[in-house]
Structure 1
């Protein structure tokens, strides 16, 4: 009888113990190992002692904690944007951005855009990002429509690919573009641990907005929006922002003081990525410096399970599809973990 991996009662780490067996774990989204980082946990506990467990008072209240404004200033500086907004979840950040800004022009979705960014159910789009980019460029430049809203992920973390938005530099200058990019899987990992914000084209006819869940690499249950001061002020004046309780202040406190922790864990993650890459053959697909590795082998998860190794495996795009099988590294993995994995997949 196979163990039940759907009711785990312990924190995720590089190892999971079930029914007396210990499994190496190569899945999830804790790329920087923050949920098990002792220094970060100490910061979070210090934040709890200072601010309490949660804050159920909206940001429009006449009495507020200042920690959120402080965290937003730190986020803007750390991720190279003019201003920032922190809200209770990545989903709410995405919905706040798309619902507020979709009225600014004709909306176009890139393939595989995360459902958190959907205004309504999106039809399946099997195009590659590159094909979509070329067709979108032609569509915008040949259309009489002047105002456009483009919505996309910054990358595809399932079929690892980091998207290049350089094609937008070729859009005619008389076109006004609002670009909303979800960087939930890239922030803290890609672009030397920064966000995708400063990689997006910087020109007068393009308004850049990056949304992200902070719960993945950054290890904080909150959502983040990076944009211009004017745009952030507009978003902060919405009912959605003012009607929602903020994230836990302790998380904001830990985020503010964790710059050195993030940097140290990012460097360790890059070492782990390089170490594993040296042991992979041509069957594996991956994006440079990103810790997810895809293989088109629908049975490899079961083969590895027999060697007490768990990887990310689930059917996609529907429940009847074959599983997507990926190795996902974290900074919490040790060299011995990766060597055992490399031996098992050789």
Structure 2
């Protein structure tokens, strides 16, 4: 494990000697956390609102800024209403608490811990097969209410889950999705997975997401039908928790043009890098994502160590728990430049073709 004394951007210094590395890790996909104009918006927000809003979201005096960001978020996610939280994890916990009031919860394989009230058993089942089995189960039991719970994107496997089987649901069903790694990235306007989901009158969708993954704003959101969001706002997860930092909400609202520009750069970077390493069988990726999984070669230096020797730092750790298998990932962001991508691809070509 390396220690750093700064928040990484395109580069970072780390280790005992503060060596500089080209940084291909983390989850700030659009790179806003190091964007000077975005940081200026944060400073403006701090000046206008201070470091926090010192009251409950259900207090007798309400900060209008929260209404503004929730209105923006429900529009971005194509939903009737939204509730914002201080973190994506808290947003997901509120969403799953609500889900448990609506029926028997069916957890997809690989569901993130933030969507779990109690730990679920690990499963290696194929997502598409699992979903079709659950749809058949729902249709065969019209007297039972069900809630399907799943992640939309797995950053550990660089996959986007296929929800097409939901078109066949014939009973009233809730579907709760964590779109933390899709919102801001997928879809024509960064709306996330929602535009790819089947339209089905039997289904009510509820979307939870972190605002940090793409947008570099500490906060979270749950969006869905107005009645569901009203019920979630009555839960202690919302009413008894500290609200989202107002400066983050302010910066988020001001930065929409920046997000759009960064999303375009990110897509260009991913397309360029994918073309450069497309011939390598040991790298797995989805062209719509900026996550590239790197396999170690047998009887060779681990790819993480090889890249580190060449001053390139990738993601390599066990997740979501310390006991999980270690995963090597190169994460492309909007802040990377053409020379960065060329260097990384050249090193990977050397590693996989010459060792």
Q: What is the TM-score when the length of structure 2 is the normalising length? A: 0.92
**Matching residue of 1:224:** 221
Distance 1:138 1:176 in 2: 13
CA deviations on 1:153-210 (whole Å, 9 max, x unpaired) are: 01111101111212111112xx111110001111111123222233323332211000
**Matching residue of 1:285:** 284
Distance 2:67 2:123 in 1: 39
**Matching residue of 2:326:** 323
Distance 1:206 1:16 in 2: 45
After TM superposition, the runs of 4+ consecutive aligned structure 1 residues lying more than 6 A away are none
Distance 2:236 2:20 in 1: 48
**Matching residue of 1:241:** 238
Unaligned runs of 5+ in 1: none
- 1:308–1:252 Cα change, 3 Å: same
Distance 1:44 1:196 in 2: 28
**Matching residue of 2:335:** 332
Q: State the aligned residue count.
A: 340
**Matching residue of 1:147:** 145
**Matching residue of 1:13:** 9
- 2:308 is equivalent to residue 305 of structure 1: yes
Distance 1:228 1:321 in 2: 36
Unaligned runs of 5+ in 2: 350-355
Distance 1:212 1:38 in 2: 25
**Matching residue of 1:176:** 172
**Matching residue of 1:294:** 293
SS at match of 2:128: helix
Retained in 1: the 8 A contact 2:274–2:287? no
For residues 173-212 of structure 1, the aligned pairs below 5 Å read 175-192=171-188, 193-212=190-209
Retained in 1: the 8 A contact 2:4–2:18? no
Q: What is the TM-score when the length of structure 1 is the normalising length? A: 0.94
CA deviations on 1:66-102 (whole Å, 9 max, x unpaired) are: 0000011111122222211111111111111111221
Distance 2:54 2:210 in 1: 20
- 1:208–1:297 Cα change, 3 Å: same
Distance 1:229 1:178 in 2: 14
Deviation at 1:122, TM superposition (A): 0.3
Deviation at 1:334, TM superposition (A): 0.9
Retained in 2: the 8 A contact 1:81–1:197? no
SS at match of 1:278: helix
**Matching residue of 1:117:** 115
**Matching residue of 1:95:** 93
Distance 1:120 1:20 in 2: 41
Retained in 2: the 8 A contact 1:81–1:198? no
Distance 1:163 1:194 in 2: 16
